[in-house]
């Protein structure tokens, strides 16, 4: 004899409970143990649903009560022998059941599961329909995703684009984020409801971007569930260090080397800037540390524009040719000023 489950106990009701009470108990338990809410409770949810299925159907419930000795006080009992025969599936009387067990237990289980599963899925559908108001199936917005992008200064000024690989979570293509399919863990996502994968995204970085600027790419974050919005992707732009260039608000501070003869003689020097090369006119007798302001060549932000401030310093090239050395030697002989003469007198 198969040991039957106590459906009343499973639903937390009594044999005297009305169909409405049973239904209410089922709804309450289903919300609590639904696999979407509690992935570990799939078995329990199955039992709850099975109990509800039997107890909410008057004729099934009568047969179940009769077979298991549950009686309401006013209920007329029928012959328990007759009821048992009716209740059992046709091929499940004591004789065939015996054969079944020996020969084909698996097939029996399969047919039971199939039968159960189709009933289960009807109730499941019904539950889904009704539970669309409940919190679990409310739209869930996807999370924001953050990424760093490192660019050179010239890219910061001229604008660029980067293709980045973002770990991106989206709802499972099979279960659509519901984690379970007909009560069984989804095979694609193993019941997680989501899948993570790298996704290539090309980010356009606008010109004149500042170090630490954040770009927001709407909807490129993790995918929302149940109609929720996708998260956003935030790109944190980092400008690689450049010892020659610093920022001061919208102004760009630029340190450039000049040769001794440029410093002495002056003249036009060509300086690479963000808008291409610009020419700076150095006066004769330019000294290290002198600053030149190029108006309107700085960063642009909110309609304001900064300046490019160039500071020059005299630098000797790393290597000098023999001819250059000879010329410097000649210069030393010719030079009549001692530029350190007045150090103590000033
Ligand atoms: Zn899935």
- DSSP letters along 88-105, please? S-GGGSHHHHHHHHHH-H
How remote is the CA of residue 92 from the centroid of ligand 1, in Å? 36
In this prediction, residue 241 has a pLDDT band, given cuts at 50, 70 and 90, of confident
How remote is the CA of residue 145 from the centroid of ligand 1, in Å? 22
- Options 1.10.287.110, 2.40.10.10, 3.40.50.720, 2.40.50.140; CATH for 7-137 is 1.10.287.110
Is 255 within 8 Å of 245 (Cβ atoms)?
yes
Q: Per residue in 156-179, pLDDT tens? A: 878 899 999 988 888 888 888 888
**What is the residue extent of each domain of the chain?**
7-137, 145-239, 245-334
- CA 124 to CA 179: how far, in whole Å? 13
How remote is the CA of residue 197 from the centroid of ligand 1, in Å? 14
In this prediction, residue 93 carries a pLDDT of: 40
How remote is the CA of residue 196 from the centroid of ligand 1, in Å? 12
- Cα 172 to the center of its chain, rounded Å: 13
How remote is the CA of residue 48 from the centroid of ligand 1, in Å? 23
Strands 308-314 and 251-258: what pairing?
Answer: parallel
- Options 1.20.1050.10, 2.60.260.20, 3.40.630.30, 2.60.120.620; CATH for 245-334 is 2.60.260.20
- Specify the pTM: 0.43
How remote is the CA of residue 186 from the centroid of ligand 1, in Å? 4
Could you give the dihedral angle defined by the CA atoms of residues 129, 131, 136 and 139, in that order, rounded to the nearest 10 degrees?
50
Specify the range with the lowest mean pLDDT, choosing from 168-172, 198-202, 264-268, 283-287: 168-172
Residue 99 or 13, more confident: 13
Please state which architecture CATH assigns to domain 145-239.
Sandwich (2.60)
How remote is the CA of residue 226 from the centroid of ligand 1, in Å? 13
pLDDT reading at 315 higher than 50: yes
Specify the range with the lowest mean pLDDT, choosing from 44-58, 94-108, 253-267, 310-324: 94-108
In this prediction, residue 275 carries a pLDDT of: 67
In this prediction, residue 263 has a pLDDT band, given cuts at 50, 70 and 90, of very high
In this prediction, residue 105 carries a pLDDT of: 39
Q: Per residue in 90-110, pLDDT tens? A: 444 434 333 333 333 344 444
In this prediction, residue 5 has a pLDDT band, given cuts at 50, 70 and 90, of confident
How remote is the CA of residue 185 from the centroid of ligand 1, in Å? 8
How remote is the CA of residue 30 from the centroid of ligand 1, in Å? 20
Token pair 């005299």 is found at: 314
In this prediction, residue 88 has a pLDDT band, given cuts at 50, 70 and 90, of very low
How remote is the CA of residue 167 from the centroid of ligand 1, in Å? 18
pLDDT reading at 111 higher than 50: no
How remote is the CA of residue 235 from the centroid of ligand 1, in Å? 29
Residue 101 or 246, more confident: 246
In this prediction, residue 274 carries a pLDDT of: 64
How remote is the CA of residue 171 from the centroid of ligand 1, in Å? 7
Taking CA atoms, 333 is separated from 247, 262, 269, 336, in Å, by: 43, 20, 28, 8
How remote is the CA of residue 53 from the centroid of ligand 1, in Å? 26
How remote is the CA of residue 254 from the centroid of ligand 1, in Å? 55
- CA 250 to CA 230: how far, in whole Å? 34
pLDDT reading at 78 higher than 70: no
In this prediction, residue 135 carries a pLDDT of: 43
- CA 162 to CA 151: how far, in whole Å? 9
Q: Do domains 7-137 and 245-334 have the same CATH topology?
A: no
* Joined tokens for residue 150: 């490192």
Is 36 within 8 Å of 191 (Cβ atoms)?
no
- CA 27 to CA 10: how far, in whole Å? 13
In this prediction, residue 286 carries a pLDDT of: 96
Strands 233-239 and 145-151: what pairing?
Answer: parallel
Contacts of 272 (CB under 8 A, 6+ apart): none
In this prediction, residue 128 carries a pLDDT of: 46
């Amino acid at each position: 004899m198969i040991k039957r489950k106590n459906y009343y106990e499973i639903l937390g009701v009594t044999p005297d409970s009305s169909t409405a009470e049973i239904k209410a108990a089922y709804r309450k338990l289903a919300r609590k143990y639904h696999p979407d809410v509690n992935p570990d409770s799939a078995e329990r949810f199955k039992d709850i649903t099975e109990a509800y299925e039997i107890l909410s159907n008057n004729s099934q419930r009568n047969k179940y009560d009769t077979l298991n000795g549950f009686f309401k006080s006013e209920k007329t009992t029928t012959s328990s022998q007759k009821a048992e025969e009716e209740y059992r599936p046709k091929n499940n009387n004591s004789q065939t059941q015996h054969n079944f067990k020996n020969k084909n237990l698996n097939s029996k289980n399969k047919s039971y599961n199939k039968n159960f599963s189709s009933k289960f899925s009807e109730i499941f559908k019904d539950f889904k329909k009704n539970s669309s108001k409940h919190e679990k199936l409310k739209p869930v917005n996807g999370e924001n995703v953050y990424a760093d992008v490192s660019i050179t200064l010239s890219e910061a000024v001229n604008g660029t684009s980067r293709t980045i690989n973002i770990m991106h979570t989206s709802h499972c293509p099979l279960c659509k984020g519901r984690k379970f399919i007909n009560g069984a863990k989804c095979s694609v996502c193993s019941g997680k409801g989501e899948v993570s994968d790298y996704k290539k995204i090309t980010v356009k970085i606008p010109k004149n971007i500042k170090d630490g600027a954040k770009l927001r790419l709407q909807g490129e974050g993790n995918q929302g569930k149940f109609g929720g919005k996708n998260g956003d992707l935030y790109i944190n732009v980092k400008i690689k260090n450049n010892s020659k260039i610093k920022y001061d608000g919208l102004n760009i501070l630029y340190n450039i080397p000049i040769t001794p003869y440029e410093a002495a003689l002056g003249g036009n020097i060509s300086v690479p800037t963000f808008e291409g090369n610009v020419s700076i006119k150095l006066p004769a007798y330019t000294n290290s540390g002198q600053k030149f302001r190029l108006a309107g060549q700085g960063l642009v932000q909110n309609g304001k524009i900064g300046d490019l401030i160039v500071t020059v310093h005299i630098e000797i090239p790393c290597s000098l040719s023999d001819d250059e050395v000879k010329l410097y030697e000649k210069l030393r002989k010719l030079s009549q000023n001692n530029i350190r003469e007045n150090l103590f007198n000033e």
